[in-house]
Amino acid sequence: MNDIIVGIDLGTTNSEIAIVENGKTVVIEDSGSKILPSFVGMSETNEVLVGEPAKNQYVLYPERTVKSIKRRMGEEIKVDMAGQGYTPQEISAIILKHLKGIAEDYLKQPVHKAVITVPAYFSDAQRQATREAGEIAGLEVVRMINEPTAAALSYEADQKTHKRILVYDLGGGTFDVSVVNIEDDVVEVVASHGNNKLGGDDFDQKIAEYLVEQIKEESGFDIQQSRKAIARINRAAESAKRALSDKPFVLIEEEYLEEHDGVPIHLSLELARDDYEEMIEEYIDETLEAVHIALKGANLTASDIDEILLVGGSTRTPLVSERLKTDLRLQPRLDVDPDLCVATGAAIQGAMIAGTDVSAAAVLVDITPYTYGTSALGEMNGELYPYMYVPIIHKNSSLPLNKTEVFYTVSDNQEKVDVRVFQGEERDALNNIQIGEFMVEGLSLVPQGNPILLKLELDLNGILDVSAIEKNTGFEKSIVIDNAISRFEEGEMETAKDRIRELFGEEGDGSVIFEQDNKTETHHAIVQARALVEKAERMLDDASPEDREDMVNMIETINDAMNNSDIKALKEPMDQLSDILYYLES
């Protein structure tokens, strides 16, 4: 059978896995449900629990259970589960490994490759952590696509007309909005904005805080002192939120939460939808501000939007549709399943990459949600300042892309340059997020003004490759940002893989995993080499006869190495060919 690429929506609250089967998308069920709660736990018998069993355990044993780990992705932390510390990647890997098993049971064959969705506003660190989670779970993440983009792909499968749609994605832990242009078989993301720390979890928290305050007023006891009671209240808050999507009132009842001075504490109160919506209004206001920022980034107004597509379970809150309708004068579509469309879009993208025949398969044009650049000496507030931000790749640029800017040394005989790479929009680079740094040493001893070319290449997964080249000599230093921000030290990845395999009761020396890792490395190297060859062939006409001859020879050498899957033989000719292309572009 063909090597199937599954689509995974790794969500804060819920996760799903889907495939394309006989030209149609199928969300694979786990114990009768297409939605897997993003909970991970350890039972009292040290058995790993994923999904509904872990969610059920959370009420009784919150100290043995982890939820909403997506909000911690990209952080250098460990979360506690049953007295053991786990990285966010390891917890996410447990969810991914469970989803992988669901798909393998359904397909009756191994699953090695996946397209995983991420919020459009996920940073480099968060994207890299997601890729690492996939690797720990034994999956090659062949592509990461933005969640609103995946939803648009799913929606596009039934469309054949030109439309501009606004994808409003409000999930459990994150919020994104994207402006998407659909024309024939092209899905083009034009602009995005969002907040990685805003979602349904915050709505739950507002209700939970209200319940805690009511208990304190009635009993004089701060129920937050009891971890188990708070776990029950959090679950009651989530249930109340869901109920208020369909009903104007909900009765919240929890018996015997705790005992205070010998008196049992119960919870019983009615919550009105109007009161709940008042609690979360500030969050909805924030999402609407992001909508207008995205529209501005696309150079559009509300009247230019043809349809609003709602994504994420939190969009079921009626206030969301009401405010969008009032603000944009357009009724959001309610016929697309907000919980499943991201997973099905990921599956469609996976089928396209695998070469599966998909009806209405679209060409996907995604964007970067962030601006990337460096710092340089410049003028700020009338004074020279060494950390002026110089944007190189601008927010809402189409992927993949590369941009080169020239900088000049500021002193005679300057032998080195400190290159810092930032992500953000502020004029002061130090107010942005530094995502990488490297030193270029050994520059020529020449007067000031020595030109240094700084090249940024951003691939389809949002992984950034940065190169600094001394123009007059070709001397180069470079980094790949995904490695620079990896959350794992050398050797820790294999330790994490072994640890997760052990949790699932898997034995063996991991030879299958290592073999898969080698295939992954070969695949990535060949993809990069093929892209470089295609670029060089496009530039042959611009080269001098001497350079053209060298380029043709290197292209032949690279093609031979690719045909033989010889990664080691690729490096030298690729480096030489890259040097020539840099000169041609500068």
User: 521: which 2 tokens?
Assistant: 């490395």
Using one digit for the tens of pLDDT, what is the confidence trace for 221-266? 888 888 888 989 999 999 999 999 989 999 999 888 888 888 888 8
**What b/e string do you get for 513-549 counting C-beta neighbours within 10 Å, with b at 16 or more?**
beebbeebeeeebbeebeebbeebeebeeebeeebbe
For the sheet containing 464-470, what is the strand order? 401-408, 451-458, 464-470, 476-480
CA–CA separation, 290 and 146 (whole Å)? 16
In this predicted structure, the answer to whether residue 542 has a pLDDT above a threshold of 60 is yes
Question: What Å distances lie between residue 352 and 143, 357, 374, 569, CA to CA?
Answer: 11, 7, 36, 30
Cis-peptide into 400, omega within 30 deg: yes
CA–CA separation, 462 and 125 (whole Å)? 10
In this predicted structure, the answer to whether residue 518 has a pLDDT above a threshold of 90 is no
In this predicted structure, the answer to whether residue 166 has a pLDDT above a threshold of 50 is yes
pLDDT for position 48? 92
Q: Which residues pair with 393 in a beta bridge?
A: 372
Average of per-residue pLDDT across 348-366: 72
Using one digit for the tens of pLDDT, what is the confidence trace for 442-493? 899 999 999 999 999 888 777 788 899 999 998 888 776 643 344 566 578 8
CA–CA separation, 515 and 371 (whole Å)? 37
**What does the DSSP 8-state code read for residue 333?**
B
Kindly give the residue spans of alpha helices, DSSP state H, lying in 438-544: 481-484, 492-503, 511-539
Number of helices (H) and strands (E) in the chain: give both, helices first.
14, 26
Residue type, position 430, single letter: L
pLDDT for position 511? 34
Q: Which of 13-27, 298-312, 490-504 has the lowest mean pLDDT?
A: 490-504
In this predicted structure, the answer to whether residue 305 has a pLDDT above a threshold of 90 is yes
pLDDT for position 512? 37
Using one digit for the tens of pLDDT, what is the confidence trace for 168-225? 999 888 899 999 888 777 788 888 898 988 999 999 999 999 999 999 888 888 888 8
Question: What Å distances lie between residue 422 and 123, 434, 477, CA to CA?
Answer: 11, 4, 17
pLDDT for position 583? 67
pTM of the predicted protein model: 0.74
Confidence class of residue 271 from pLDDT cuts 50, 70 and 90?
Answer: very high
Confidence class of residue 514 from pLDDT cuts 50, 70 and 90?
Answer: very low
Average of per-residue pLDDT across 410-436: 90
Using one digit for the tens of pLDDT, what is the confidence trace for 112-159? 999 999 988 888 888 889 999 999 999 999 999 989 889 888 876 555
Average of per-residue pLDDT across 365-377: 86
Share in percent of the chain as helix, strand, coil (round to 5): 40, 30, 30
Contact (Cβ atoms closer than 8 angstroms) between residue 254 and residue 266? yes
CA–CA separation, 268 and 380 (whole Å)? 59
Confidence class of residue 528 from pLDDT cuts 50, 70 and 90?
Answer: low
CA–CA separation, 508 and 581 (whole Å)? 46
pLDDT for position 579? 73
pLDDT for position 446? 92
In this predicted structure, the answer to whether residue 396 has a pLDDT above a threshold of 70 is yes
CA angle 23/38/79 to nearest 5° reads 140
- Torsion angles phi and psi, residue 412, rounded to 5: -65, 145
Question: What Å distances lie between residue 34 and 8, 26, 66, 219, 309, CA to CA?
Answer: 12, 10, 21, 41, 21
pLDDT for position 202? 94
